[in-house]
Amino acid sequence: MSEHAVVAEGVGKVFNAGSSDQVEALKGIDLTIGAGEFVSLIGPSGCGKSTLLRLVGDLVQPSAGRLEVNGKTPHRARLDRDYAMVFQKATLLEWRTVGKNVQLPLEIMGVDKAERERRSREFLDLVQLAEFSDHYPWQLSGGMQQRVAIARGLVFDPALLLMDEPFGALDEMTRERMQMELMDIWRRTGKTVVFVTHSIPEAVFLSTRVVVMSPRPGRITDVIDIDLTQPRTFDTRESTPYYEKMTEVREALRAAGVGVE
Amino acid sequence: MSLRDDPDVLEAFDADVPGEPQVDVSRLRERLREVAPAIVLFFAALALWELTVIAFGIQEFLLPRPTVIVGTLVDNWTEISKAAFATFEEAVGGFVVGAAAGALVALATARWTGFRTGVLPIAIALNSAPIIALAPIMNQWFGLTNPVSKMAVVAIIVFFPVMINTARGLTEVDPAELELLDSYAASPSEIMRNVRIPSSLPFVFAALKVGTVLSVIGAIVAEYFGGPRDVLGVYITQQASLLHIAEAWAAIVVATVLGVAMYTIVLVAERLIMPWHASFRDQRV
Ligand SMILES: Nc1ncnc2c1ncn2[C@@H]1O[C@H](COP(=O)(O)OP(=O)(O)O)[C@@H](O)[C@H]1O
Ligand SMILES: [Mg+2]
């Protein structure tokens, strides 16, 4: 595996090119993400964060530039199941039980039944939902559904996690606990995480680097190293360096012409 | 942290509270309360019918009383039940063939876009054609007394709504679910099996329910155009022409029961096949 998880060079994306509703979603994106990094993309709605994640995941094709994922084309990386995408909406299949939802990627990848069941138990346990395996998604709250989606993302052990505002719909308490769980998983597994968020505290708390973006056209205006000590704990949130980094990100967003929060 | 401390989990447990220990008794009572008005209304209407006929001295060959119809049904049970069985066979046979063909063609439309854009508009146009008018032609093709002539009419009637609805269900899929499957590099047949077919089921069952009613109507009306002696449609026309009105009514009652029976079978199948569906949630699986 290459030491770079993601490389983007001059990447641009224009939707509906040539028609009256043409949108330049991204322009001149240069970004290199090392294996094992935790990188957050932050910026206001419409600045192309989701589009950038989809480009990396080969769910959308670039209009310009070059992308590399784990040293391969994004297409090759998708075929190799190198990444898992976690969307803002849990997107659980309502006709499958929680356990069967977690097993979905394993089924598609041809993993045998015993192994599927073992792994779905393991990862439901990880998100503390083991006893809900036989429930249907509608019987779970929004926060629980999102944790199932995270278990489904982790269950096939992808090297790269692409997370699009995964905690956006959660209440503050659940959100902070999920952040801790994700930190823990990231530290133990050494996965690379690309994490989209609207929230400055969330970006600073989780990341090794924060990528600041601005809209029309979507571009990267700043990249801020978050060199707070690892592991991040409850105390991190009350430390002075944490507040200083939040101020730095907030100012970078303001400098980009974006009034946030 | 234990599960019980988790606010989300507590919320889910709370949601379960309405159905606690005495679940079954209270649920049964609730069901009874739901159907009670319909039962009361049904018998009230029958009583009103009975009394109106007596009060105004309406003659039996115009409108027989419900009790007379029931008596006639009992007296002619052998003949009517035999006819009902034959008609039921036609309706069910046609229904199964039409529904299966409709679902298969719909699968093909979901798989090949060109096929869909060509076939769907034609199907929608034909769906509004009075297909029952084909009955005399089917009688010519398959023979007046051959049950296949009636099954063919029923099959064509059921085919169109099932095909159109299934095709819609297979294509009107949550784009987020398709994107999820794409992210796993799932093949088209895996997407079909895991997303398209399950999402189409509510549409399919809606069409099947309409189809059950249409198939009993289709079979009986097709029989009005002629058929073997021992089917409901022929029995009804013959008895009516002999002014044996109570016999005709008795057969109509049985035909209604056939329609309700088929509908109920589909309803039960629906609950077994998609217990997860939103329409059953108030009853808790
Ligand atoms: N499939 C699409 N077709 C057309 N326009 C799109 C599409 N996806 C995104 N866009 C547009 O691209 C811009 C960036 O969108 P998005 O990546 O969703 O931003 P963000 O996730 O930062 O809110 C927006 O103006 C959006 O309307
Ligand atoms: Mg977005």
- Tens-digit pLDDT profile for residues A205-231: 999 999 999 988 899 999 999 988 888
Domain positions in chain B are 20-58, 66-280
pLDDT tier, B130 (very low <50, low <70, confident <90, very high otherwise): confident
Give this prediction's pTM: 0.83
- Length of chain A counted residue by residue: 261
- pLDDT tens digits along A48-61: 999 999 999 999 99
pLDDT tier, B21 (very low <50, low <70, confident <90, very high otherwise): very low
Q: Is A48 in the pocket of ligand 1 (CB under 6 A)?
A: yes
Q: Does B180 contact A57 at a Cβ distance shorter than 8 Å?
A: no
Domain positions in chain A are 35-59+73-82+160-261, 83-157
Residues of A in contact with B12 (CB under 8 A): 132, 139-141, 144
- In the CATH scheme, what architecture does the domain B66-280 have? Orthogonal Bundle (1.10)
Phi, psi dihedrals of residue A221, rounded to the nearest 5°: -105, -20
- Residue A130 above 60 pLDDT? yes
Cα-Cα-Cα-Cα torsion B10, B16, B21, B23, nearest 10 degrees, comes to 180
pLDDT tier, B28 (very low <50, low <70, confident <90, very high otherwise): confident
User: Environment class of residue B211 by beta-carbon count within 10 Å: exposed (0-12), middle (13-18) or buried (19+)?
Assistant: buried
Q: What average pLDDT does range B205-216 have in this prediction?
A: 94
Cα-Cα-Cα-Cα torsion B9, B12, B16, B18, nearest 10 degrees, comes to 110
- Would you call B27 helix, strand, or coil by DSSP? helix
d(CA A139, CA B11): 10
Q: Which of A27, A17, A49, A46 is nearest to A211 (CA)?
A: A49
Q: What average pLDDT does range B11-35 have in this prediction?
A: 60
Q: Is A25 in the pocket of ligand 1 (CB under 6 A)?
A: yes
d(CA A16, CA B143): 59
- Joined together, the tokens standing for residue A220 give 């990267």
pLDDT tier, A181 (very low <50, low <70, confident <90, very high otherwise): confident
- Joined together, the tokens standing for residue B278 give 């939103």
CB B105 within 8 A of CB B115: no
Contacts for B281 with CB less than 8 Å, ≥ 6 apart: A138
Chain A nearest-CA distance from B167, in A, is: 19
- Would you call A61 helix, strand, or coil by DSSP? coil
Q: Which residues surround ligand 2, an ion (CB under 5 A)?
A: A 50
pLDDT at residue number A178? 86
- Joined together, the tokens standing for residue A141 give 């709250």
- Residue B163 above 80 pLDDT? yes
Output the DSSP codes for A178-233. HHHHHHHHHHHH--EEEEEES-HHHHHHH-SEEEEEETTTTEEEEEEE--PPSSP-
For residue B169, what is the enclosing H or E element? helix B147-171
Q: Which CATH number fits domain A35-59+73-82+160-261: 3.40.50.300, 3.10.150.10, 3.50.50.60, 3.60.21.10?
A: 3.40.50.300
pLDDT at residue number A13? 94
- pLDDT tens digits along A86-113: 998 999 999 999 999 999 999 999 999 9
- Residue B258 above 70 pLDDT? yes
Q: Which of A79-83, B89-93, B136-140 has the lowest mean pLDDT?
A: B136-140
Average pLDDT, chain B: 85
- Would you call B168 helix, strand, or coil by DSSP? helix
| Rg of chain A over all Cα atoms, to the nearest angstrom | 18
d(CA A35, CA A78): 17
CB A119 within 8 A of CB A155: yes
- Which residue from A minimizes the CA distance to B177? A91
